[in-house]
Amino acid sequence: MERSLIRKEVIPFLKMFGALILATAITDALLHMFDMVWVGRWLGIPGVILILLSFFYSMRKRKKISFGKPKTLLILHESLTWIGALMILVHAGIHIYTILPWLALIAMMINVISGMTGKYLLDRSHRFLADKKEFYAQQSLSEEAIEKKLFWDATTFDVMKKWRAVHLPITLAFTVLGIAHILSIFLFWEWK
């Protein structure tokens, strides 16, 4: 049991997080190598856009939109935030000179780490719910309907409820700090 927890959750988590840090270091080194460090200054913008696009999942979940399969949107959420975080990390690497962007960056990293933790907890609740599938199948629900039911069931599982107590408030903190950082850039912009 313990071994399988490490194999199914801990190692994939470390790989996903490690890949993010490695990709940041490589991108940063390449920008330096090709004398393109200035690119990093602008990477904050597409990074934020990708993270905003990733919120289609949340909008779908909260019924603000009705298009898109929840599972696909969640995969998109995970991928877009990964790439967005990469861009913001590279962006942050070159010109942090005040405290505000540091705080925003710390909040983002807690967000990312909690997100990755949640991903594997969600997988775990999925595995627990596999049994439930039998039950739904007996009620002659369609394959697609079962898939959807299981998906939402898994996200309301106990462990997920507890996990959300971290992922959601830290999103709020990240948003506030991110907006404060962006506003301060506009306020002190040197128009030259």
Catalog residues that contact ligand HEM under the rule CB under 6 A: 51, 58, 61-62, 74, 77-78, 81-82, 85, 108, 111-112, 115-116, 118-119, 122, 155, 160, 164, 167, 171, 174
Nearer to ligand HEM, 28 or 78 (CB): 78
Nearer to ligand HEM, 7 or 123 (CB): 123
> 3 and 110 in contact (C-beta within 8 Å)?
no
CA 130 – CA 134 distance, rounded (Å): 8
- The two structure tokens encoding residue 186: 């506009």
Nearer to ligand HEM, 31 or 104 (CB): 104
User: Minimum distance between the CB of residue 72 and ligand HEM, rounded to whole angstroms?
Assistant: 13
CA 177 – CA 174 distance, rounded (Å): 5
User: Minimum distance between the CB of residue 84 and ligand HEM, rounded to whole angstroms?
Assistant: 6
CA 8 – CA 22 distance, rounded (Å): 22
Nearer to ligand HEM, 136 or 174 (CB): 174
User: Minimum distance between the CB of residue 137 and ligand HEM, rounded to whole angstroms?
Assistant: 24
Residue closest to ligand HEM (Cβ): 115
CA-wise closest residue to 45 among 170, 172, 181, 169 = 181
Burial class (CB in 10 A: 0-12, 13-18, 19+), 15: exposed
